[in-house]
Structure 1
């Protein structure tokens, strides 16, 4: 009897060991596919779970990359019988797969609830792609590629035809914070820099506009300019970059903030460049991957260059500012302010100088 129990125990151990090895192998396959297709989870989704059931491997979860799903199933299918429950986003059953931000700013969070961490924001007139929905929330992808949750009350949802009509409509870009007002001087909505508004009619000193959700009103014509996405990108001018950045001076720091109400470091730079015709990636660690590298010498810098800071040992980027000339850079740290890389200056930041990683 003892011998039989011992043999049974050994068999269970061997079986468990075999299952563990298989799990480790499959886990490595998932890691390899994810590393190849989704190296940055902020701009793509690859959430996969494997479940064994009666000799069959159930593959479930979701991803935004169809090619990643195909490769994963092909590799797992070499050794296991599969049931495919892996969904490719956006969800096909969603009728209106586009939306436009219809509040002055919409908060983007890492989970579909108001208490979740704020990770980014979109401002009025920003188009987003709807990936899936849960309750009163939508998982959206903004023009910079960032994926996060936002409340449905901040969006105007559109089908393909409605979205095409919105994109082809005549629009203006808001250059200063202000108010959209009705014909009686009552506030319809607040406006922030960078908002995109659809033009209904131009008058002598006002522009009649409509919001994505159908509300309408007027703005002073001197705080907007025509918005046109056709043609070549505008030339970046150092003096204009400085002028726009100085308009944010003293603005408070907000983790996840990307508007002229409050900004984090990379959200601040996104605003400056968007108002000059360019869309930057969302986070500092993403922004450093674009553009031409500049030597870590003050003499090599030009106005408008992005300066990246972080941990010298790990080389992890955690902060970004913009060079404005004469050894100085502007950034959001506590508030939007100007510091110098010259230790003889009163506004010198030894901490930033020591943590300067790239430009």
Structure 2
């Protein structure tokens, strides 16, 4: 079995082994992966963080030992908090964005399969519990990020990528897609009972969960709809005041943090 790690700021993961295929998610710097199969210039991989599978260009990851991969899986890693920062060594500078993994970061350096790299930006501390107030503040850091299907960065992000990133910065690993995330947490029965950090889910006409957002104070919801924006939630769904209409139909609200 082969293992690897992402050594670029972002790597597109596609549904099929082709540059023309749909981007289903992005691999973040410092994120480990397991190689499932190879086809030409493509490798099918499974992410160590959330188990998501897809295809990436074989030139866009670095092999690591099985021992390092297992060590990575067993640990909780700090995440980058700056919108853009640099991970560096004596002969290399790598731009990284908010949410990037900083494996075995000690406050100054991180370790990738025996090699040490420097990082001087802000980072999370997985050992310190995060409050719902802090979660909401982290979410606000993504405000105005443009919508991008499959995206997970400040420069392009989708609805479930946004919720996964925010919760990841709080030390909690959500599944990748809204249809998977909805299985996590305890139900909140009324929109008037929401608390900051609750996740609200929305269904299409067929009843399938297709959208998710993070609740803020005062029944406001932050979600990816053209951009990361703030709207109002009631028992019907998300009301867009600018367009004077509902944009999404509410299906269920879940609470992750009590």
| Alignment of 1:249 onto 2:122 | no
Q: Among 289, 292, 306, which residue is 2:183 paired with? A: 289
Q: Deviations over 1:150-176 (max 9, x none)?
A: 112221222322424556799643111
Q: Among 157, 160, 170, which residue is 1:263 paired with? A: 157
| Alignment of 1:148 onto 2:54 | yes
- The alpha-carbon distance between structure 1 residues 333 and 188, as it changes in their structure 2 partners (threshold 3 A), is same
Structure number with the higher helix fraction is: 1
For residue 39 of structure 2, what is the aligned residue in structure 1?
A: 134
Task: Supply the distance in 2 between the matched residues of 1:148 and 1:124 (Cα, whole angstroms).
Answer: 17
Task: Supply the distance in 2 between the matched residues of 1:170 and 1:358 (Cα, whole angstroms).
Answer: 30
Runs of 4+ in structure 1 deviating by more than 3 angstroms, as ranges, are 164-172, 181-184, 198-202, 208-214, 225-228, 342-350
Q: Is the 8 A contact 1:171 1:227 kept in 2?
A: yes
What does 1:150-299 align with in structure 2 at a 5 Å threshold? 150-164=56-70, 172-180=78-86, 188-198=93-103, 207-209=108-110, 214=115, 217-221=117-121, 223-227=122-126, 235-295=129-189, 297-299=190-192
Q: Is the 8 A contact 1:182 1:188 kept in 2?
A: yes
- What is the TM-score normalised by the length of structure 1? 0.62
Q: Is the 8 A contact 1:268 1:332 kept in 2?
A: yes
Task: Supply the distance in 1 between the matched residues of 2:239 and 2:177 (Cα, whole angstroms).
Answer: 31
| Alignment of 1:351 onto 2:246 | yes
Structure number with the higher strand fraction is: 2
- The alpha-carbon distance between structure 1 residues 344 and 108, as it changes in their structure 2 partners (threshold 3 A), is closer
Q: Is the 8 A contact 1:251 1:260 kept in 2?
A: yes
| Gapped regions of structure 1 (runs ≥ 5) | 1-93, 229-233
- What is the TM-score normalised by the length of structure 2? 0.84
- Displacement of 1:187: 7.1
Q: Cα RMSD between the aligned structures? A: 3.0
Q: Is the 8 A contact 1:253 1:333 kept in 2?
A: yes
Larger radius of gyration: 1
Count of aligned positions: 249
For residue 117 of structure 1, what is the aligned residue in structure 2?
A: 22
- Displacement of 1:199: 5.8
| Gapped regions of structure 2 (runs ≥ 5) | 254-258
Q: Relative contact order (alpha carbons < 8 A, sep ≥ 6): 1 or 2 greater?
A: 2
Task: Supply the distance in 2 between the matched residues of 1:123 and 1:212 (Cα, whole angstroms).
Answer: 17
- The alpha-carbon distance between structure 1 residues 125 and 324, as it changes in their structure 2 partners (threshold 3 A), is same
